[in-house]
Copies of this chain bind each other. A is one copy, B any other.
Amino acid sequence: MERFFAKVIVTLKDEVKDNRALVLDKMLKNLNIEDNPAFSTGRFYTFSLSAQNLSDAHDKTDFICREILSNPVVEKYEINSIEAI
């Protein structure tokens, strides 16, 4: 078994309105910082895991994202990077 380090991001699906982002948009506009920043928000996780090899690590990370970290009804996820450590 090898150890890997994964970085993932969970965001709302495009069809779900991102309320936090809208609040931020309004705030930046009202503070005269940016007119239309078109924010999107998400959650960021890093963790380490054991796997046979990189492809295996990928599968496991995918599983963790799907089953633990996100809710597929409203969210999507993206594996940012997986590196051997």
A-to-B contact residues, CB < 8 Å:
9, 11, 24, 27-28, 31, 33-50, 60, 63-64, 68-69
Report whether B45 and A40 are in contact in the complex, using a CB–CB cutoff of 8 Å.
yes
**Chain A interface mostly helix, strand, loop or mixed?**
mixed
Can you report 5 residue pairs joining A to B where beta carbons are below 8 Å apart?
A9-B44, A24-B45, A28-B68, A34-B64, A42-B43
Report whether A50 and B34 are in contact in the complex, using a CB–CB cutoff of 8 Å.
yes
Report whether B50 and A45 are in contact in the complex, using a CB–CB cutoff of 8 Å.
no
Cα of A35 to Cα of B45 in the assembled complex, Å = 17
Least CB separation from A38: chain B residue: B48
Report whether B49 and A34 are in contact in the complex, using a CB–CB cutoff of 8 Å.
yes
In the complex, besides A28-B68, A40-B47, 8 extra interface pairs with C-beta distance below 8 angstroms are A24-B45, A35-B50, A36-B48, A37-B47, A38-B47, A40-B46, A41-B44, A42-B44
